[in-house]
Structure 1
């Protein structure tokens, strides 16, 4: 099988790159092992929340000039703001509605009810400019009876610290009784499938209408709109007070919907998406990848002009930690890591973990190095790259999308 570009990894980075390339006439295939991190999304996309020294960031566009030179953003040069705008436009082109601006982080509500800075947020959720937006509000927090992945008490306690007055309630619909037979079935995705039914959603709206009198805001878990955002729009339009949806513990209904919409856009543009397959080895000649092989296709090779590694970090086995090294398992790419396992981690779980900064070594064009030699047609994008601590710096989604667009444009422009 032959393509212009083969992308290994079907998450946010891989799909962003594939969509950009397909739009510009390049025939692409994506090989994806399984679920991407979008299935666990909190509903927001971080660009840059903090510098490596702990300095908080309000304006990512201004702050990016202060990042260290090993950071993936440093390789974008002056195009950081441009690609941040292009990433937001890509979402819009794929019918994914988001709010936010690269020049000013807003606040999102976490599954625990706390406030965290972010760049873009799904339109399902309510962005806040500051914690003062909550002061003095009377809030009704409503859960689906028996749903354990939304902790109303934690949310209420957090909200009250911001100066709100909260009351907790629940709704019990007959249509959800089947799910309650087994606690394992009472999950966000299953609830969303039930609430996609128009009559069931109307019954919920009627139930909520009888409870919201006297409140300024009603809060619900984000269990609406698995296949489209229409149930969310209908819910918000039907009630007389603002509806705040809050992310649940994984899986994420809005995240899964976004993954599906990105994949659909890629395939509608002519891209080939192979889910449930894993690339395991490659052939090389003169510092160029000639072909790769996957589990499902055995001896049948994938041949392409260019190959893009978008396999993610440890979570998706894009990087694998061994006893005394960190390896990239598909190509054997060079990985920047600190020798000596004791230096990889801090015993305090919530402190910065050094291993999070490890990743595939590249040049400024994000071409991959193997045995210190640049591979002419092999690139890396997203969280497989080293040089940043995406958790503490709050830049994971931004790195995925912006590096993917950067590499795609380099290929498009020859």
Structure 2
């Protein structure tokens, strides 16, 4: 099999790159080995929420110089300020064209409500999620927080108690209640199946819709707005929007414990567009090894296609970090298993010293989380000290930064994906 581009990894980074290339006439295949991190994400996307010194930020452009000074190996710093901003804005336009329903702008981070009632800085969030801008107060005075009987992944009272501590919600009157949905009785008997995805699947096919609307109106007790766990609408927001219209109130949904319905919706929409453009998904397959000729990748072998190798002009590594096995930790080393790329980390991380991989405090940022492949300004991967011309890395497989600590994982994913798409299209 021969393609213009082989992309290894079908998450946010891989699909963003693939969609952009397919739209420009490149033939792409995505080797997709199971669920991606986006399926477990909150649905909100972060560009940069914190500097390495711990200072929270709201404006990316104003704080780029400080990021460069403190962490020059960050992918944004390698790519450059202007291009990073350009690619972030390009993704905002792409999200609109895909009808992802994301609100926000690179101009300033907003604050989204977390399931525990905190406020977290974000770049883009689904329009169904409650958000505030800076110190602005939430526009609704009374909020009914409604859980689902027997569903323990969403705790209305805990959310209400913590939410009230934020100045933006101090003026709100908060009430809590639980929805009794008889259709869910069969799931309640097995706690392992009583998750957001299972609930959404069942409700879309067996729900007495009018009964749910009536109960929500009763439980809200005249509130101006309702907060719900994100359990309504599996493929897109149409079910949630229908519920909102029928109830006649402002309704917002909050992500629950993984897997996340909000992330799954985005993943399905991205994958649908990639396939709609003619891209091929090899689902359930796994890249095993690659062959190099004259310093370039020539072919790749997968678990299903061990005899029939795959060739391409360009190869993109979008396998993510440890969560999706894009990186593997052995006792004495951390490695990238497909191309055996060079690994880098932060200043405190030494690949050959296992004791440097973790911090003493469990709650502290862990040095191993900064491990990943080494790249240059073109996102080309380094192997044995040399950069490979036709091999690129996108997303959290890249090293030199801690995406969890800095709040930049989604931003790095889309910015590097669009940068690599540009590099390939330019050749």
Task: State TM-score, norm by structure 1.
Answer: 0.96
Contact 2:144/2:221 (8 A) holds in 1: no
Q: Which residue of 2 aligns with 1:64?
A: 64
Counterpart selection for 2:381 from 354, 359, 368: 368
Asked if 1:244 is matched to 2:252, the reply is yes
Contact 1:99/1:120 (8 A) holds in 2: yes
Q: Unaligned stretches of 5+ in structure 1?
A: none
Counterpart mapping for 1:193-342 below 5 A: 193-197=201-205, 200-337=208-345, 338-339=349-350, 340-342=353-355
Contact 1:194/1:200 (8 A) holds in 2: no
Contact 2:140/2:225 (8 A) holds in 1: no
1:75 CA drift (Å): 2.3
Asked if 1:127 is matched to 2:94, the reply is no
Q: Secondary structure at the match of 1:298?
A: coil
1:370 CA drift (Å): 0.9
How far apart are the structure 2 equivalents of 1:79 and 1:325?
Answer: 33
Contact 1:222/1:247 (8 A) holds in 2: yes
Further displaced range: 36-45 or 193-202 = 193-202
Contact 1:91/1:97 (8 A) holds in 2: yes
Q: Which residue of 1 aligns with 2:77?
A: 74
Residues 284 and 75 of structure 1: is their aligned pair in 2 closer, same or farther, counting only changes over 3 Å?
A: same
Counterpart mapping for 1:383-402 below 5 A: 383-402=396-415
Counterpart mapping for 1:115-154 below 5 A: 115-130=119-134, 133-134=137-138, 137-154=141-158
Contact 2:112/2:131 (8 A) holds in 1: yes
How far apart are the structure 2 equivalents of 1:400 and 1:379?
Answer: 13
Asked if 1:192 is matched to 2:200, the reply is yes
Asked if 1:16 is matched to 2:19, the reply is no
Contact 2:287/2:302 (8 A) holds in 1: yes
Contact 1:42/1:111 (8 A) holds in 2: no
Q: Secondary structure at the match of 1:251?
A: coil
Further displaced range: 77-86 or 18-27 = 77-86
Q: Which residue of 2 aligns with 1:25?
A: 25
1:122 CA drift (Å): 1.0
Asked if 1:407 is matched to 2:420, the reply is yes
Counterpart selection for 2:101 from 88, 97, 119: 97
Please give the root-mean-square deviation of Cα atoms over the aligned residues, in Å. Answer: 1.7
Q: Which residue of 1 aligns with 2:45?
A: 45
Q: Unaligned stretches of 5+ in structure 2?
A: none
Contact 2:187/2:194 (8 A) holds in 1: yes
How far apart are the structure 2 equivalents of 1:374 and 1:342?
Answer: 29
Q: Deviations over 1:72-93 (max 9, x none)?
A: 0112222122111111122222
Q: Secondary structure at the match of 2:208?
A: helix
Equivalent pairs, count: 414
Contact 1:222/1:254 (8 A) holds in 2: yes
Q: Which residue of 2 aligns with 1:180?
A: 188
How far apart are the structure 1 equivalents of 2:259 and 2:281?
Answer: 22
Further displaced range: 10-19 or 206-215 = 206-215
How far apart are the structure 1 equivalents of 2:142 and 2:96?
Answer: 34
How far apart are the structure 2 equivalents of 1:141 and 1:22?
Answer: 43
1:244 CA drift (Å): 2.1
1:25 CA drift (Å): 0.4
How far apart are the structure 1 equivalents of 2:209 and 2:163?
Answer: 27
Contact 1:10/1:310 (8 A) holds in 2: yes
1:69 CA drift (Å): 1.7
Counterpart mapping for 1:342-381 below 5 A: 342-381=355-394
1:136 CA drift (Å): 8.7
Q: Secondary structure at the match of 2:89?
A: helix
How far apart are the structure 2 equivalents of 1:113 and 1:195?
Answer: 26
Q: Deviations over 1:16-47 (max 9, x none)?
A: 00001000100000001110111111120000
1:180 CA drift (Å): 2.0
How far apart are the structure 1 equivalents of 2:206 and 2:343?
Answer: 51
Further displaced range: 177-186 or 80-89 = 177-186
